[in-house]
A and B are shown apart, each in its own frame.
Chain A
């Protein structure tokens, strides 16, 4: 079974631009969660989607948004990029039950200049 894939793997943007990151979950997984990882803050939960609906949202500004498609693929969008948005963005997929193991993708490394 193929693992979680994320594209692109690396991205360089400038302040004020917007960016869209993509995540394809493991086949059959309907839950996709997004996380931001920085050296100072560690891993922080952004949001989770299940069956095209956002089920949970972390404490991030409205510039961070996401969506999930009918095939469970998910996209995350960040508008009006700030220097502090530079981070590794990780996507994780799982089956529905909350105690299911989350499988993480390799991440997208975003650098904002």
Chain B
């Protein structure tokens, strides 16, 4: 079954600290993996898209890694800010298919 599992479900960190969110997937055949940030009450916003050949991609303080062999990805947030408080969703797309498979998300809360 094509699935995307994220951990942890929720996370609380102090402002300025770093954190890492995990994503494991069984979607096959793999085309690309995306990380989205979703603020409460708003639509998701794309952070990164990685294809099979890419193992690291950065977007400001966000760095995503991909290990296509173990089917794992992580999103590392550096020097967290209060505005990073949101849900982070891992999404995987299968080759030749446009439909996306979504993880259930990690809810991050950054406290002052």
Contact = CB atoms under 8 A, between A and B. Distances in A.
A58 interface: yes
Is chain A's interface secondary structure helix, strand, loop, or mixed overall? Answer: strand
B104 A90 contact: no
B98 A106 contact: no
B97 A104 contact: no
B105 A42 contact: yes
Contacts of A107: 41-43
B42 A106 contact: yes
B43 A55 contact: no
B49 A99 contact: yes
A44 B102 contact: yes
Interface string B36-67: 10000111111001010000000000000000
B14 to A, nearest CB: 26
Give the interface residue-count category, chain A.
Answer: 20 to 34
Contact of A106 (B31, B43, B89, B93): B43
Interface of B: 31-32, 34, 36, 41-46, 49, 51, 89, 91, 93, 96-105
A25 interface: no
A98 B98 CA distance: 6
A105 B104 CA distance: 19
Contact of B103 (A31, A42, A98): A42
Interface centre among B34, B98, B105 (most CB of A within 10 A): B98
B98 A90 contact: no
A43 B89 contact: yes
A17 interface: no
A35 B101 CA distance: 11
Nearest to A31: B98
Contact of B97 (A44, A56, A102): A56
A42 B104 contact: yes
Contacts of B43: 4, 90, 92, 104-107
Contacts of B100: 33, 45, 102
A104 B91 CA distance: 14
A48 interface: yes
